[in-house]
Amino acid sequence: MPLDGNDRKSEKGFSLIELIVVLVILGLLAAVVAPNVYNKLAKGKDQIAKIQIKEIEGALQLYSFDMGRYPESGEGLEALVRNPGNMESWKGPYLAKELPKDPWGRPYIYRSPGMHGDFDLFSYGADGVEGEDDICSWK
């Protein structure tokens, strides 16, 4: 027996047009929200790098008090967590944990003597290339 329009039960679900409209709305929301979230994340990583640099600077100060000097470039920041050359005046480790990497997973760069003071401590930042956006101990 053929069904006419009145005998048909209402179909449940979404039409293709409704699904497309929802997907377009979600796409527009993502296009507006994603850049803001990315900018907040980038600023957060910069702040983490600045905090870590301050922490390492404090450890360098403690090392300097004990040793009478800062670690040389050849010894590097590793001298803060391991005694370089079994020196008796070394009372470290000077950091509570292992030497941190910057928020982008790269080691911090350390030079002693530095071009901006007794030492230079910095990260190249998100791009990993020396430039104006570096996060430095002297800025």
- pLDDT, tens digit, 9 for 90 and up, residues 63-98: 999 999 999 999 999 999 999 888 889 998 999 889
**Which residue carries 């008090």 as its tokens?**
65
Radius of gyration of the chain (CA): 28
Confidence of residue 128 (pLDDT cuts 50, 70, 90): confident
pTM to 2 decimal places: 0.70
The CATH superfamily holding the domain 18-136 is: Glycoprotein, Type 4 Pilin (3.30.700.10)
Which runs of E-coded beta strand occur in the chain? 109-111, 120-123, 135-136
pLDDT of 57 above 90: yes
- Residue ranges of domains in the chain: 18-136
